Amino acid sequence: MTNKISKGLPSEAYTNKKFWAKECNTIFVNNWVFVGFAHELKNLGDVLPITVGGQPLVLVKNKNGNILAFHNVCSHRCLKLVDHPKNVGKIIRCPYHSWSYDLDGKLLSSPHFGGTNNHRPKGFMPKDNGLRSIRIKVWHDWIFINLNNNALPFEKYAAPLIKQLKNINLEKISPVATLDFGEIFTNWKFLIENFIEPYHVQFVHKKTTSQPLKDHYTIVNGLCYGSGVDLKEEDASSGSLAVSSKYLSLFPNFIIGTYYPGQLGVYLNNPIDPNRTYQKRIIYTTEGHKLTRSEIKNQKDLWWKVHKEDHEICERLQLGRASPISKNGGLLSPHWENSVRSFQKIVIKALKKSGNRKKR
């Protein structure tokens, strides 16, 4: 571990619209971006509109039970097709001119496109005008997409994270609670950085956790970075969090916490613009562990308090970037914030890569 004190990212990395546009064209195009939870698309025809890097996309549960991803745009006049989560039955229909697609994105009808009762004018090929598909990976309950097809195969891309979770049977996890925080008024990177560094825990969370700083360590392994804490005495009571844990992230926006005994927390961090991020957390139990309704409520209440403490800090970090003092990025601890520095280096490196789609 280095003893060198380094600077953080400059303020423009969190506030500047041009910097955000650059992220949209590189980071959120080239990499596997976390976009949703598979268990939330339960039935055939369930659709979930999402936005990645400013692009409207839609997740669809098809007739075979698979989740597919498409650009959320009609092939005719490029209207956004789905504007809220719902079940469409067997057909996705454009409300503008009633062009219709099946759940695999195939164009089924283009009514009167060539004139009255001429649905397929000469030279028009329906097979070439279906919804544009997107590379997708459903890893356990977590949905990832890669917009330009250039990312490594997911298992190779996520190998460092998978290694960190090797002692957990992810095939046997069960979602038991949802915490929907809505919009947080902070840049997406602050939520990642705050989650993966242990330096703040004993100060920000002194009322909700009991995890001494001295028991923490940091984790840096390629695209996976975070921190952990090992405690000799575990206390999983509802009023305080005093359990051995790992706080891990996979670049760019997937974060997962593992908590003794038998609990996971996975966070969807969806960047909206430089100053806003949508966040949701799902609480899971692992194999052999169950929670009663009362215990689930207690966990929800505890985690809501913990995250509201984090959100206040992250929003104040955002406000601080309006000062000229923050132009140089502030300082990073060489010991406790090396995971943050690793993340920031990956951000800088990722911005230099073209977001062009791989040719086939």
pLDDT in tens, 111-159: 888 888 888 888 888 889 999 999 999 999 999 999 999 999 999 999 9
pLDDT at 209: 66
The pTM of the full predicted model, rounded to 2 decimals, is 0.92
pLDDT tens sequence for the chain (360 residues): 456 778 999 999 999 999 999 999 999 999 999 999 999 999 999 999 999 999 999 999 999 999 999 999 999 999 999 999 999 999 999 999 999 999 999 999 998 888 888 888 888 888 899 999 999 999 999 999 999 999 999 999 999 999 999 989 999 999 999 999 999 999 999 999 999 998 888 888 877 666 677 788 999 999 999 998 886 654 555 455 556 788 999 999 999 999 877 889 999 999 999 999 999 999 999 988 888 999 899 889 989 999 999 999 999 999 999 999 999 999 999 999 999 999 999 999 999 887 665 543
C-alpha 333/C-alpha 335 separation (Å) is 5
Show Cβ contacts of residue 153 under 8 Å, excluding neighbours closer than 6 positions: none
Count other Cβ atoms within 10 Å, centred on residue 115: 8
Domain boundaries, the chain: 36-138, 154-351
C-alpha 42/C-alpha 61 separation (Å) is 8
How far is residue 329 CA from its own chain's centroid? 25
pLDDT at 239: 52
Per CATH, the homologous superfamily of domain 36-138 is: Rieske [2Fe-2S] iron-sulphur domain (2.102.10.10)
Q: Encoding tokens for residue 184?
A: 């947080």
Cis omega (within 30 of 0) on the bond before 198?
no
Q: CA 208 → CA 176, 178, 200, 282, 310, distances in Å?
A: 21, 19, 13, 19, 11
339-355 pLDDT tens trace: 999 999 999 999 988 76
Q: Encoding tokens for residue 204?
A: 């920000």
Which residue from 350, 83, 230 is spatially nearest to 93, judged by alpha carbons?
A: 83
Contact (Cβ atoms closer than 8 angstroms) between residue 84 and residue 91: no
CA atoms within 13 A on the CB side of 333: 11
The two domains 36-138 and 154-351 share their CATH topology (first three levels equal):
no
The matching CATH number, chosen from 1.10.3720.10, 3.30.413.10, 3.40.50.800, 3.90.380.10, for 154-351 is: 3.90.380.10
